[in-house]
Chains A and B, each alone.
Chain A
Amino acid sequence: MDRREFLRQISLWSAGITLGVPGFRITGEAVAAERPEAVVSQATGKDYVALVTKVLDPLGGMGKFVRPGDKVVIKPNIGWDRNPEQAANTHPLIVKTLVEQALAAGAGEIKVFDRTCNEERRCYVNSGIKDALDRIKDKKVTYFHPDPRKFIPVDIKRGKAVSRLEIYKDALEADTYINVPIAKHHGLSRLTMGIKNSMGVLGGRRGNMHHDLGQKLADLATVIRPKLTVIDATRILLRNGPQGGDLDDVKVLDTLIASADPVAADAYTTTLFDLIPEDIESTVAAYKMGLGEMNLDAIRIISA
């Protein structure tokens, strides 16, 4: 940019005139290069605080993923106006513990949010996540309802079913994105896990994602690439998902699954429902796009 161009831009911006919202470019090649190792850690225990440490240890602990000063996004599922027992949202204690661990690892700032399906405030309250995060008295931690102004159109260069999606700015800007879904039944996709949970950073009309959902989720996964996926299977919803509501549909497993490989995390979690990874379209589509490993034989599974 030469001086003339620089001055022109400065004057235009200062006058508040520009031709469009600045886009956000993500080069597919750059992200594809850093393909993580297909290691999945799974741990079981009733003490959920200890369980988080236990499941992360074999992967190198939180410090492996969060560097001092990092901008961290922790993205739980807060999609529904349901309480923790109903197993529709990520368990608040898991979210809280992950936030605390990221703080301990030196995170510069931690943001927690989800674009909900039911009324936003009710979801944050009833899920228990608002209350859990309120207990952390640290200014580095913020949670909020997505601001409609901050969804940025992103070209999905490698997309097969979608070419452009509106994605929340903070999710794109994070140094470390930690995906914390709950594993549960879902009518259309059969199961909701990590890759499906990324829909919570989407703006616009998300309903359209449901036409060819599996491929579209995989397309989204080419740009939303969590460094760490922690799947909450402390209690799983077996029927009437993704929001449930009936405690008879909930099965308590007291289990967490963690992996740097989002596809492997989903593939392994599928087995908890007596299904195989091939049953889940988004897993298959993401695997075919080279976003991770889905063959259980090729995944190193560590029971911590």
Chain B
Amino acid sequence: MTGGKKIPHFYWRRLCQIFCFVLFSFLFIKTDYSGADEIAYAVNLLFRIDPLLAATASLAARTFITLMLPALFTLLFTFVLGRFFCGWVCPLGALLDGGHRLVPPVGGKDGVYRNTKYYLLAFLLVAAWFGLPAAGYLDPFSILVRGLTLAVYPAFNALNTTFFTFTYQHGPDWLNSMTEPVYAFLKYTILPFDQKYYDLALLSLFILISVILLERVERRFFCRNLCPLGAMLAVTARFSLLRGIGGSKCGKCRNCREVCRMGAIDEERKISRSDCNLCLDCVAVCPGRKISFAFAGRSEARTPFNLSRRALVSAIGAGVILPFFLKGRSMAVNPDPFLIRPPGALPEDEFLGRCVRCGECMKVCIGNGLQPTFFEAGIEGLFSPKLRGRTGYCEFNCTLCGQVCPTGAIRKLALQEKQRTRIGHAWFDKNRCLPYASGIPCIVCEEHCPTPEKAIKFREAVVLDDNGTEVVLKQPYLVDSLCIGCGICETKCPLPGASAVRVTSAGESRDPDSIIPTTGGTGYLGG
């Protein structure tokens, strides 16, 4: 190696970041129906190696979630290598590093908010146990994948489609002969199969953009100061075997301090194991080649934590107390009737505890039915999935959402079980439904009802239409015991505006109290 030029260490880091980002993007794109009913790739891998989500979801579930076992390996590696994950693997970190030239820091104070992430971590862990699931709002992967799923990817598709529609419809043939193959290639590779529409698209974009814009304050602001996953890795990295060795007997240049994206090097050029993400830039800029990374003995003193006891106690206290404010809201006894959870969703409290708001289920939902919840499930339910029947429906033969959920908040159901799982119940609004309200034939709902014996049937009736003429037509009605609440009737109802048939959560399988009365008699007075 002496003769040739040695590749600087940080090139390897960049290469690894690019590789991880490409791998992540690949898995993101593959979070889709592939022609087989089973998803072949571990598309939810990113969330399963996330120890923050593993910890909070497991605390909420009061059991170790075995699906998230891979997260333990992340901690194990962190114990050996330090906080390498943030510098080498994390796709959000790679995005921040890759884009930092676009949002250069304006400079300013250093390290003022550094401990915030530890307080947040403490709060999230305690609150998860006591019933306030909030990790998904701050977890870097959740922020990233949600932002991409709900906002960036649909916008990317709309942009491409608009452009290629324009060239197709308005361009001459010679142009189309060039653009159409490009469009076909993009469709085949990176574009989604079709245009998807999401609630909260702009909110999730805003959150993602905010994380990026914080780079203006200081480099890796989110990672240094806010990221609770970073905090968890930092706590582990304090004990790491590998660490950077700087030292104060090196002169006065301070190049390493200036280049350090994590602000991990102090005035004495000591490198904090908790903060250093092993980007290796300091190694490259050190004129004296004094900085190295090595597996050191344990004698080396750890940098002090410097947490404020008062702030930490406050964070924990908030984690204990705040969840109880959730219990006193009216929605605790009367949940939103239009909050329809995906098939296989656990009972609501457990579901919210485990759901990490990653958006994987919404990404994979081929009917575009799953949408992020706003405040229908309370402030703690933000971004959790619900079926919005007017936008899309739950495909009868599809079980993908349960397959991609990284925490089991949506259980993986066998097809037959899924087809018997009731997520809600459809109701007709006879004031709007055409065959009832206007004497106009329709029953598109009946046509699409997917249960082998249709839950929507029809009766022939003689009614007066708007002109007072007697007409014979078919009026739909619901057979309560057959409806599974998939919502295709609501999606396909050809009425403009709101559907004349709407699904509510009534009758949902996961709630034993949610029983729809039948003429057979299940009332309290019935024998």
Contacts and interface: CB of A to CB of B under 8 A. Distances in A.
A249 B443 CA distance: 20
Interface string B484-496: 0000000011100
Nearest to B488: A118
A17 B451 CA distance: 49
A119 interface: yes
A294 B333 CA distance: 62
Judged by DSSP, the binding face of A is loop
Interface string B395-421: 111100000000000000000000000
Contact of A245 (B172, B443, B451, B474): B451
A211 B493 CA distance: 12
Interface string A257-285: 00000000000000000000000000000
A125 B37 CA distance: 10
Nearest to A80: B450
Nearest to A242: B447
Contact of B366 (A119, A187, A213, A246): A119
Interface in A1-32: 13-14, 16-18, 21
B502 to A, nearest CB: 16
A101 interface: no
A205 B172 CA distance: 29
Contacts of A208: 494
Nearest to A187: B446
Contacts of B444: 188, 207, 210
Interface in A61-85: 81
Contact of A149 (B169, B450, B492): B169
B205 interface: no
Contacts of B493: 207
A14 B176 CA distance: 11
Contact of B443 (A16, A188, A244): A188
B524 interface: no
A111 interface: no
A210 B35 contact: no
A118 B442 contact: no
B497 interface: no
Contact of B442 (A13, A117, A210, A242): A210
B434 A187 contact: no
Q: Among A13, A187, A211, find the residue whose CB has the most chain B CB atoms closer than 10 A.
A: A187
Nearest to B174: A14
Q: Among B168, B397, B448, find the residue whose CB has the most chain A CB atoms closer than 10 A.
A: B397
Given A211-B442, A245-B450, A17 B170 contact: yes
Q: Among A21, A240, A242, find the residue whose CB has the most chain B CB atoms closer than 10 A.
A: A240
A243 B448 CA distance: 8
A280 B453 CA distance: 23
B325 interface: no
A187 B447 CA distance: 7
Interface string A236-255: 00001011111001000000
B441 A211 contact: yes
6 contacts: A14-B172, A118-B397, A126-B397, A130-B35, A186-B447, A240-B454
Given A21-B169, A120-B193, 9 more contacts: A118-B450, A125-B35, A188-B442, A188-B443, A188-B474, A208-B494, A211-B434, A211-B441, A240-B452
